Amino acid sequence: MATKSNFNPKQLSFLAVLRVLMGWYFLYEGIVKFLDPNWSSYAYLMNSHGLLKNVWLALAENASLLKAVDFLNTWGLIAIGLGLILGCLSKVASLSGVILVLLYYVSYPPTVASQNFHLTSDHVLWVDKNLIFAVVLMVLYFVPTSQFIGFDRLLFKHKNSING
């Protein structure tokens, strides 16, 4: 199946670099959690203050659910990172990354109330890295560079329509 793109090779290359860099960030975060035998999402969940605070508290207070959250978070980060780096199932990886970082965003929304009205350069208001990551991942979802540079090109037999 041929894919039509309005991007030139240079633009696609830079978007592919963006995809790989995002992938590295996710992969590294997952590996750090995997290698740390003491890591748990417990403190993160217990200190959350977003709209779903009661859900996060319930997850943290149930040992079985907490273990599942830790597993899914760690391996989700690793899988998303590898998918983005390799350009393998990158649409799935991008969308999964959007969901994950939006869950982080709603857990710790960057509002004035959450900062106790102490606005400094160390704080953010409304827009934080998670929201930015979600938007970048949506761009990568809608501009699937892996169909041109990545394993998705081989997996789905996409032809690079830019080069004919």
Give one DSSP letter per residue of 50-81, joined into a string. Answer: STTHHHHHHHHH-HHHHHHHHHHHHHHHHHHH
Mean of pLDDT over the chain: 85
Averaged over 117-133, what is the pLDDT? Answer: 71
pLDDT at 141 over 60: yes
Q: Tell me, what's the pLDDT at 12?
A: 86
Mean pLDDT of the 11-23 span:
92
DSSP structural state of residue 161: T
Confidence of residue 102 (pLDDT cuts 50, 70, 90): very high
Give the pLDDT score at 43: 92
Is pLDDT at 45 greater than 80 in this prediction? yes
Residue 7 C-beta-side C-alpha neighbours within 13 Å: 17
Rounded distance between C-alpha atoms, residue 26 and residue 98, angstroms: 12
Global pTM reads 0.84
Asked if the model's pLDDT at residue 113 lies above 90, the reply is no
Is the distance from CB of 87 to CB of 142 less than 8 angstroms? no
Q: Is the pLDDT of residue 154 over 60?
A: yes
Token duo for residue 162: 């830019």
Q: Mean pLDDT, to the nearest integer, of 114-134?
A: 70
For residue 78, pLDDT beyond 50: yes
Locate the DSSP E strands across the chain.
2-3, 159-160
Higher-pLDDT residue of 6 and 1 is 6
**Is pLDDT of 161 > 60?**
no
pLDDT at 159 > cutoff 90: no
Q: What mean pLDDT is predicted for residues 34-55? A: 91
